[in-house]
A and B are shown apart, each in its own frame.
Chain A
Amino acid sequence: SQTIHQWPATLVQPVGSPLSLECTVEGTSNPNLYWYRQAAGRGLQLLFYSVGIGQISSEVPQNLSASRPQDRQFILSSKKLLLSDSGFYLCAWSVGVFTGNSPLHFGNGTRLTVT
């Protein structure tokens, strides 16, 4: 069966510091990978998605970037964190990309607090 791992689970970082969140998927090949951010009381916001190694689509202009160095590895980064980057970051994978018969499967998230 497929599993998705995200780490760390929680992170407290000062403003201006760099960020690296990692996500890996096991048990499937060529997954479509996603980074979402969830703010309290609001829906999930799509940040990036990737359909293959080195292929990154950005949905929201911001202080963050994403990379996919390996088939089942997805990384979310920032060079300098802002207070507004605080939130709950979720990695997800799917078989198809934004198709009706391909639900997203999420990791357990990283709670990021920028102080």
Chain B
Amino acid sequence: EDQVTQSPEALRLQEGESSSLNCSYTVSGLRGLFWYRQDPGKGPEFLFTLYSAGEEKEKERLKATLTKKESFLHITAPKPEDSATYLCAVSSSASKIIFGSGTRLSIRP
């Protein structure tokens, strides 16, 4: 059965303190891995798609990487406005798009 697990569930950082969020997946035939940002009371906002191991994508202070078993969302020198829940999702050949439960990121000024 395809699975997506995100860790940690919650992460509190000081402004400027870099860190990484993890998304581990077990799927049969990865078609794509997606990262989303979700603000409270809003729908998820699409950030990146990664297709194959070794691929990297960047957007401002965010950088997403992909291996055969997991993806990392690195956040460099975060600011309070980066506070949000970050969701990971995978599309596989055997199932619909599956979402992880997310990491709640809080950046203190």
Contact residues of A with B, CB < 8 Å?
A: 6, 41-44, 46, 49, 59, 90, 92, 98-109, 111
CB distance from B7 to the nearest CB of A (A): 13
Q: Which residues of chain B come closer than 8 Å to A108, judged between CB atoms?
A: 41-43
B97–A98 contact, CB under 8 A? Answer: yes
* Known pairs A101-B51, A106-B43, A109-B43; A43 contacts B30 (CB<8 A): no
* Known pairs A43-B102, A106-B44, A108-B42; A100 contacts B96 (CB<8 A): no
Report the Cα distance A50→B36, complex, angstroms.
22
Contact residues of B with A, CB < 8 Å?
A: 4, 9, 30-32, 34, 36, 41-46, 49, 51, 87, 89, 91, 95-102
* Known pairs A43-B4, A44-B99; A100 contacts B49 (CB<8 A): yes
Q: Which residues of chain B come closer than 8 Å to A44, judged between CB atoms?
A: 44, 87, 89, 99
Q: Which residues of chain A come closer than 8 Å to B34, judged between CB atoms?
A: 103-104
**3 closest pairs, A vs B, by CB?**
A100-B32, A100-B31, A106-B43
Please classify the interface of chain A as helix (H, G, I), strand (E, B), loop, or mixed, using the class held by over half of its residues.
loop
Report the Cα distance A101→B89, complex, angstroms.
13
B96–A42 contact, CB under 8 A? Answer: no
Closest to B51 in A: A100
Report the Cα distance A61→B102, complex, angstroms.
25
A–B complex contacts, Cβ < 8 Å, 15 sampled: A43-B4, A43-B98, A44-B44, A49-B96, A98-B91, A98-B95, A99-B91, A100-B30, A101-B31, A101-B32, A106-B43, A106-B44, A106-B45, A107-B43, A108-B43
CB distance from B10 to the nearest CB of A (A): 10
Q: Which residues of chain B come closer than 8 Å to A98, judged between CB atoms?
A: 31, 91, 95-97
Among B32, B89, B101, B102, which residue has its beta carbon within 8 angstroms of that of A99? Answer: B32
Q: Which residues of chain B come closer than 8 Å to A92, judged between CB atoms?
A: 43
Q: Which residues of chain A come closer than 8 Å to B49, judged between CB atoms?
A: 100-101, 103
Q: Which residues of chain B come closer than 8 Å to A90, judged between CB atoms?
A: 43-44
**Other A-B pairs beyond A6-B43, A104-B44, A106-B36, 10, CB < 8 Å:** A43-B101, A43-B102, A44-B44, A46-B96, A49-B96, A98-B31, A101-B51, A106-B44, A109-B41, A109-B43
